[in-house]
Chain A
Amino acid sequence: MGAGHAHKLYRHGHSPVHALPPHTKLAAVFAFVVVVVSTPREAMWAFGLYAVLLGVVAYLARVPAPFLLKRLLIEVPFVAFAVLMPFVAEGERVEVLGMSLSVNGLWGAWNVLAKGTLGVAASVLLASTTELRSLLLGLQRLKLPPLLVQIASFMIRYGDVITDEMRRMRIARESRGFEASGVKHWGVLAKSAGALFIRSYERGERVHLAMVSRGYAGSMPVIDEVTASRAQWSYAFALPVAALVVCVLGWTL
């Protein structure tokens, strides 16, 4: 992946959030999500505070609100599920927590919606302030097995290539008047997938040969080791620590 070939999920910038080492950001986001998930759902105000915290981070990272909101749309299928929940939940169960059943379903819907949305928002902020390559470095730094990081990096690097191949095949199909409208077209789609697999596999073999001829012996050398100072760690962990305070308040109040 050459210079300037940044992923479309990444939003270039020079904010303090962008400047943080990737593994501190990864750890902070993960800790934040864990704290959010373990908050009692009855403490509605706590989730509001979490949203404010994320808003502050977004402001510091200079990520505009429309960008963030657009990316949140990924969650829509679960919103549909959550809306259904109060209707589905009634009937079967005997009283839980002394409430009537539909109320219980509403609580469940709120629980999934609030926690899910906060989790998605945190991930979106991470992805839009961290470059892909440094994200992978951060994962390696967090002791993810190197082989797994290599597989992920190949997937990311060649993901666009393979997806483009898929797109070209789709355009070729469509320009010949093909439109997948029913079961009888599954065969065509499957043949496309088969052709795509062979192309991906053969490309993998070529890449491997190229790597071997350049001295690859099973592990990738680490050339840019990223380290984080104590100040950077504490800066990154301001978010989850603040969230933890809110969470503890939520349990006690």
Chain B
Amino acid sequence: MHVPDGFIDAPLSAATGVVAAAAVAVSLRGARRELDERTAPLAGLVAAFIFAVQMLNFPVAAGTSGHLLGGALAAILVGPYTGVLCVSVVLLMQGILFADGGLTALGVNITDMAVVTTVVAYAVFRGLVKVLPRRRSSITAASFVAAVLSVPAAALAFTLIYAVGGTTDVSLGKVATAMIGVHVLIGIGEAAITALTVGAVIAVRPDLVYGARGLQQKLKLRVDGELVDVPAAEPVPVAARSHRKVWITGLVTSLVLAGVVSFYASANPDGLEKVAADKGIDAKAEEHANADSPLADYGVKDVENARLSGGLAGVIGVGVTVVAGSAVFWSVRRRRTADTTPVSTGV
């Protein structure tokens, strides 16, 4: 998915460059929190790891093979900020040294492959870990789902960027179906390898998996003194259970809504746009309409793929939304548990 020079027009390349720079700046600050002062050597070696893992070809159906993108893997193993940083550095070095991906398209590539994959994967992962029972196997399952969504999400982001600033005249619907179709397949392979890799690391050194760190801390409980007491653990599961039910119902309903209902929702723009095309409204205006509502557009161009692509877009959209929502929830709950712990130990 490395975008070459000239594929995306100059203004959008600059805009995505700004987005990428902002994301990297935020990640630089966040990574210090994740890795404290070990940032440079650890993130550097993880970047080298991702670079090596991208050479790991796995066979997909019909004699072809894909390779890992590594965004989801990095986010789960070392945390989202460090993940963004590592993949960005890999992309930067690939651009400068190997000429893989254009220099002016660096912003597009980083936004698409480093930021979108990592953020989507980590959000989905966090949400699922909240919902699923606290076991190692659920970490593996959550990382599978996170990776399987992250790759088509990157394809979706690419299509979005293409819709706004693509320099070629291939129709948006075709780009969307081709990109998402191919990347759903790649995503499945990526997800399987990511989940198995996370499982393998958890089996040997669970303390290294960032995604499993939250779980362990909650089980162990940080107590101010050296006292490792269990009683304070009681309020946590209660709070978690009450949240969990809400989480499960919310996730299931939104997934169903997104997957099934969005198909019918996208029938409306279909009709509208068809009318517009029949009336012969000029191409320029149509393009802008597409740019404004790309999600609606996926179900439009090819009727056969409308159900699939529309539903998929919906599911990914829900993933993003759930993540955003869960982030708020999580932070609120985090603070509450942090408040209760010192009080209970004080007593």
Measured in the bound complex, the distance between the Cα atoms of B192 and A95 in whole Å is 44
> Of B194-202, B248-256, B261-269, which binds chain A?
B194-202
Contact A126–B96 (Cβ < 8 Å): yes
Per the CB 8 Å criterion, the residue count for chain A at the interface is 92
Are A119 and B99 within 8 A (Cβ)? yes
Among B47, B77, B195, which residue has the most Cβ atoms of chain A within 10 A? B47
**Residues of A in contact with B (beta carbons under 8 Å apart):** 7, 9, 26, 29-30, 33-34, 36-38, 41, 71, 74-75, 78, 85, 88-89, 91-96, 101, 104-105, 107-109, 111-112, 114-116, 118-124, 126-127, 132, 135, 145, 147-148, 150-159, 161-163, 165-166, 180-183, 185-187, 189-198, 200-201, 203-205, 207-208, 211, 217-218, 220
CB pair B6–A116 under 8 Å, yes or no, is: yes
| Contact B98 A9, beta carbon cutoff 8 Å | yes
**Does B19 touch A at the CB level, under 8 Å?**
no
Of B87-95, B119-127, B323-331, the one contacting chain A is B87-95
Stretch among B38-46, B151-159, B238-246, B339-347 lining the A interface: B38-46
Docked Cα-Cα span, A75 to B85, in Å, equals 25
State the CA gap A16–B167 with chains docked (Å): 36
Are the C-beta atoms of A154 and B44 separated by less than 8 Å? yes
Residue of B nearest to A157 (CB): B44
Contacts A74-B98, A180-B59 known; A108 to B170 CB distance under 8 Å?
Answer: yes
In the assembled complex, the CB of A95 is this many whole angstroms from the nearest CB of chain B, namely 8
Q: Main SS of chain A's interface residues?
A: helix
Q: Are B103 and A194 touching (Cβ within 8 A)?
A: no
Tally of A-B Cβ pairs under 8 angstroms: 264
Give Cα A198 to B10, complex, Å: 41
Contacts of B97 in A (CB 8 A): 7, 9, 123, 127, 132, 135
Give the A-binding residues of B (Cβ under 8 A). 4-7, 9-10, 13, 24-25, 28, 31, 37-49, 51-53, 55-59, 68, 73, 77, 85-86, 89-90, 92-93, 95-100, 102-104, 167-171, 173-174, 189, 192-201, 204-205, 208, 277, 280, 282-283, 301
A194 touches B28 (CB 8 A): no
C-alpha spacing A89/B168, complex, angstroms: 9
Contacts of B103 in A (CB 8 A): 29-30, 33, 119, 122-123
Chain A min CB distance to B120 (Å)? 21
Question: What are 11 A-B residue pairs whose CB atoms fall within 8 Å in the complex?
Answer: A33-B102, A85-B170, A101-B169, A108-B167, A111-B168, A112-B4, A114-B6, A147-B31, A166-B52, A182-B59, A198-B208
- Are B208 and A116 touching (Cβ within 8 A)? no
Residues of B within 8 A of A207 (CB): 41, 45
Note all chain B residues with C-beta closer than 8 A to A162: 45, 48-49, 51-52
Contact of A208 among B7, B42, B86 (CB under 8 A): B42
CA distance A37 to B103 in the complex (A): 10
On whether A151 and B40 interact (CB within 8 A), knowing A92-B171, A112-B167, A201-B208, the answer reads yes
Are the C-beta atoms of B41 and A218 separated by less than 8 Å?
A: no
Q: Are A155 and B42 in contact, CB atoms less than 8 angstroms apart?
A: no
Query: In whole angstroms, what is the CA distance A35 to B324 when docked?
Result: 39
Given contact pairs A96-B283, A116-B6, A154-B47, enumerate 4 new A-B contacts (beta carbons under 8 Å). A33-B102, A158-B44, A186-B193, A197-B46
